[in-house]
Each structure stands twice: as C-alpha cells, then as structure tokens.
Amino acid sequence: MEITHVYSISLGCPKNRVDTERMLSCFGPGLTPCETPEEAEVVLINTCGFIGPAVEESVQAVLDAAQAIEGLEPRPVLAVTGCLVSRYQEDLAKELPEVDVWLTTREVESWPARVSEALGRPVHNPAPGERVLSTGPSYAYLKVAEGCDHACAFCTIPSIRGPLSSRPMDQVVDEAQRMLNTGVSELVLVAQDLTAYGRDLGEKDALPRLLERLSTLEGLKWLRPMYLYPAGLTPALLDFIKDMGRPLLPYFDVPLQHTHQDILSAMGRPFARDPRIVIDRIRDRFPEAILRTSLIVGYPGETDEHFTALKDFVRQARFTHLGVFGYCDEEGTESFKLPGKVEQQVINERREELMRIQSIISEEMLMEFEGSTQEVLVDAPHEEWPGLHVGRCWFQAPEADGVTYISGPGVEPGAMVNALIDEAKTYDLVALT
C-alpha cells in the first residue's frame, strides 16, 4: 500500500467540499492527512470563485501554499481546482507557474490520472460515490446535481459549473448508503437548485422518488434538503413531503434573494411574484416548519423604498435563520451592466440593519425552545472547553445555522442524544443531557 501525505483546503460551499472528498479518495487507504503544506507530497486547494471576496481568499490560499513549499526537495505537487480555476484558468496559469496541476470543475473525473502523472506513480481509482469524509462522524453532504439552468442576473454559477446535470438516482442512493455505512446519522442534500433534480434527464417527480428511496436507507435518522428554489416548491411537492414525514425534516432552505417584485424581476429570479405565496404554502402545511433564506441587499436599482419593504417582509415572515449578503458587482454577469449601482457604504449599512432585525427575531424564536427536550446530534468537542461539545438540533443545519452547546452523560461525537434546552442565545442554544 502506497502512503501519500496530503494537505488539502476546501473553500466555498458544501458542493465544493464533496468534490474535495471525492478527489482525496484517489489516495485510497494510504491517505495520510497533513497539518501543513511542508509535510505533504500533494497539496490540494479546492477554490471558490463565486464573488470577489471568495476569489481573493482563494488566490491568497494558493499563494500561501506556493510560498510554503518553495525550495523544498522533493517539492510537493501543488494542485489547484474548483470554481476559481473554471473562471480564470488562463490568467491564473500565467500568473502562478508554480502550480503543477490545474483542474476545472468539469474535469474532476480526470483527477486520478492527472495527479498520478504529477506524482509519477499510480493512485487508487475510486468507485463512483467513494469519498473521504471531512465532516466528522455525525453528518455528510450528498450532492445530487451539478450546474444550474436558471439565469439569475447576478450569478456566475452557470458560466462556471455549466447547465443542470443531475446524477443518476441509483448512483446517488448507493453513495448515500456508503456514507451511512461510515456511521453518520444525517445526510444533507445539496445542489444549486434541489427542486430541479432530474429535470434534465426528462424524469418526472425525480426529487420525490429520490427522497422516498433515501428515506428507507439503514442508519439514516435525519434527511435535510438544502437549496430549495421557491419556484420548485409546488403544492404537490409540499404535500408529498408532508405525507412522507421523518426522517425527512420539515426544514425549508428557500433562497429568496429579495422580496420586492421590482428587484426580483431585475434579478431574473425564476419566482418573481410575491414570495409570501411560497412562505404561506409551506406554513399552511407545516406549522412547525423551520424556514431559512438568503437575501441580497444593495442590488442595482434598490431604493430606500425597496429596502424598507424588504425589512417589513423580514419582520413579518420571521425566518428562523437568515443570511444577508451585500451585492457584489461581478464582471461577466448581467447585473454588472445595470445602472443604479448602490454605494458600498449604503450596502454595508443595509446589511447591518437587516441583521440587527434578524438577531431579535432569532433570539425570540430560539427562546421558545427553552425548557423543552430535543434530540441533539453531536458534531465535535468544543475546541476550548473540555467536556463541552458542539451539536445541533433538527432545526439547525451544519455550517449554515447556529449550534447547540451540549454537555453531560452520553455526549460524544456522532451520538444523537435527548437533551434539555437550558438556555437560548441570539443564534445558539445550550443543552444538558
């Protein structure tokens, strides 16, 4: 068995993390993770290139790694992949000749051959769905599709990742069981638009059929769908989810991006009508539903009146979880050409104001759980406090929402325990077994 020392960084979204885990599997059981680039034979950096700040972070990560291994003999293989490469490969190759392997998002399947060539020795050829989990013993992401067919004016994803490409259902289910066999209890379904799954394959009701098959898998306790586009949350799909019940969680991650029809139309969103329609649709069927959304402030043409309407909507809708992002002007997008650009200071102020409103809502909603007993899935020990662990209740998605700090008998990574919610903070909970 060939031992390979690998240092890896995965930047950006969970979909990127899945790609990283797949690429790491090519080293087979001989994979030995390293803490620093200097210790490694292979340095793998999976980048994000969605918006300007992500591009800067990714470029800096590559520069730091290149500097760390400069002059080493033997020198580690430096491989860079991900959305940054897909977006700027020609420019990057000129500016960073020290990178040995460039890999776009559409070339991930060729990774074993490319790294084998760079290393000068064969590597493991992983089976479909084979991955090296990096999320710990409690949960795993399951990517069901790549790319996107929507044409949102602010988004670079279709140009980077291509059109919608759904994975074959049997392959997704086999990978899910493989992940569950490692002992994880939760699967988090991710795609650019989960509700579009199977549409490119001409399959009718593909998402309900996938959910149904996944729900029967041995070892699965929580099935969490993420990235549910509002246009795809039809009454029929919601009725199916209601009838299905656990392990499918009544957790709805619905990226609205804005709530005023003027701005939604300018964004080219696939659901530009009143977003209250989809929110009411969900809550009519799921009074206990947890709703999360993401919003963009400072989009070109957003006036004070538009922003006031957005604030009013947030106060009325009362999302449990909310992410607010300032608009980034990205060259190559349709929104880049739009007039009425909002000053950066105004964008920052609007984001802070919306988050202040949400912080009050979040704390009020979490306080309703005080004194109740909830299942908590334990993710990891707390990095600073011995005996304290970080976990999540069913209404807290990993790496997106707040957490539950938990201690007591039976609390260990990967365990699902019943715990008393002792205290609510602004975004987090404290629990005791």
Where helices occur in 10-140 by DSSP H, the ranges are 14-24, 52-69, 83-95, 111-119
Hey, what are 174's tokens? 């086999």
Show Cβ contacts of residue 39 under 8 Å, excluding neighbours closer than 6 positions: 5, 7
Reference 191, options 238, 150, 219; nearest CA is 150
26 is in an annotated binding site: no
3-class DSSP state of 368: coil
Show Cβ contacts of residue 426 under 8 Å, excluding neighbours closer than 6 positions: 359, 362, 363, 366
Q: What is the DSSP letter of 36?
A: S
- The answer to whether the Cα torsion of 408, 410, 412, 418 is positive or negative is negative
34 is in an annotated binding site: no
* CA gap 219, 204 in Å, rounded: 28
* Residue pair 19/116 in contact by the 8 Å Cβ criterion: no
Angle, vertex CA 24, rays to CA 21 and CA 27, nearest 5: 150
Query: Is the peptide bond preceding residue 74 cis, with omega within 30 degrees of 0?
Result: yes
* CA gap 377, 139 in Å, rounded: 9
For residue 287, give the amino acid letter. Answer: P
152 is in an annotated binding site: yes
- What stretches of 161-274 adopt beta strand conformation (E)? 165-166, 186-190, 222-225, 251-253
83 is in an annotated binding site: yes
Question: 377 φ, ψ to 5°?
Answer: -95, 120
What region does 285 belong to: left with phi over 0, alpha with psi -120 to 50, or beta? alpha
Reference 175, options 130, 207, 134; nearest CA is 130
Binding residues: 13, 48, 83, 148, 152, 155
Binding residues for [4Fe-4S] cluster: 13, 48, 83, 148, 152, 155
